[in-house]
Structure formats: structure tokens, C-alpha cells
Amino acid sequence: MSKRRDESFEQDMHSEKSALHRPDGKTLRLGVLISGSGSNLQALIDAIEDGTLTGVEIALVVSNNGQAQGVQRALRHKVPVIYLPWTRSVGAARRAHQCIAPKKMPESEERLTKLLQLFEVDLIVLAGWMRILSGTFLEQFPQRVINLHPALLPDDGMGSTYTTQDGTAIPVFRGLHAVRQALDAGVKVTGSSVHYVTAEVDAGPVICREEVVVEEGDTEESLHERIKRVEHRLVVEAVRRWGRDHSAASGVQAI
């Protein structure tokens, strides 16, 4: 764990405004992928509407769940939203259960690719997206897909341990049940990370993260709720950092 990275996050969070624009004057366009409540989508909407994150717009929300609460959030704020049914083969379902990314891009990903291109999305944010994206899909959007994960990941996303700010080495929890894993392991600190998505699940380079103390008597639900509150800050900061760090490579200019 890089203490400098976390200190930088503390400093960046004190900045009042973050303006991101492309050289052509257009705003940074986000594609947000959701499967459930959409609370992190709401955090982005709120940051854009209250001016915390300026020069950014949500170009498209895609949900693989037509009944997701996040769909209603998008509709209430007049954000374009599309329900995209996600079909998987038996083999794909097995790989997802084992947290192994599939090798070939299925039809659902082909349709998703066309939507993201049609809506001219610059950055794809996986905000509670409960599907694994293939390496073939990710190759089309290099360094343009980020994910929120409810655990602490090392700077490069790799390895089996993470060193907390107090110097304690804890396991790295990956997969769908990271919060439960933290409680089962008896760690005193967990947290949330925003990282680049790679073909290896929950193993991409970290953009920003924050530690969350595990309190006595915590349940999976209570701990996850506190982690979500941290995520709402992190997702906004991650978008700001992406715009700043990729200004030269992607044509996005941080002001």
C-alpha cells in the first residue's frame, strides 16, 4: 500500500470544484453500468448537479436488470438509461462464479460496445455492475473502464496482502463477497478501492481508495453500508483523477 497515494487522496478531496473538458469544449461523457440500487450512480448525479464535478455528464446508464432501483434514479434525473438483457452460457456462468474472465466477447458485450460507441462515452464506470467483462471487450476500451470494489487492493491491484496505514498486513479480498470475507477473517480494517478493470477480476491498478474501520458487532449489512458511504466519495474522486491523468492520452483536459 502506498501511504503517499492515500495522503494525496486526502488532499484532493478538499478541492471544491473539479472541471473536466475535452479540447473541443465538450464535456467528459460517462457510461455508468449498474445492476442494482444505483447509489453510486446517484453520487455521480448529485456531484454533477451540485457543481462538485463540473464539465462532466452521464451520457448513458446501462442496466442488465430492468427492475433495478438505479434505473428509476436515472429516469428521475432525465439521464438516458437502457435495459440490456445479459445472456450467458453455462460455461460463462461457471467462470463468473469462479471469478474467471471469459476469453471471447459474447453477444451481450457486442451490443454493449455498440451502445457505448453510439453515445460517445469517454469513461465507463462499473457502479454495482454484477457481470464480468471479457478481456476482448476491455481491449476496446483500454484504461477507460473503472470499477468500485468493497475491499482494499494494493496499488497495482495484484498480490494477496495489503498493508494498512498502521502497518498491519491483511488479506486482499476479491470477488462478490469481499465484505463477508473481511468479517470472517476478523480484520480490524477494510475499505473500498476504485481500480482499472483488467481481464483478471478485481486486480487492476488502483486509482483511489479509503480505509474503513470494522466496528465491534458489525454485520455484513452494517459494514457494507459504511463502505458504500465511502464509495460515494471515491467514485467522484476517481472520475476527477481519470480526467486529469488521461488528458494527454485521451484528449480529455483537466482544468
Q: Which residues are catalytic?
A: 149
**Parallel, antiparallel, or unpaired for β 145-149 and 161-163?**
unpaired
In the block, residue with C-alpha cell 483511489: 208
Determine phi and psi for 254, rounding to 5 degrees.
-85, 130
Q: Which of 181, 128, 186, 184 is nearest to 151 (CA)?
A: 181
* CB of 61 closer than 8 Å to CB of 34: yes
* Burial label, 91 (beta-carbon count in 10 A; 0-12, 13-18, 19+): exposed
Dig out the grid coordinates for 64 from the structure: 442488465
For residue 19, count other CB atoms closer than 10 A to its CB.
Answer: 16
Q: Residue 208 forms beta bridges with which residues?
A: 194
Measured distance CA(144)–CA(140) in Å, rounded = 9
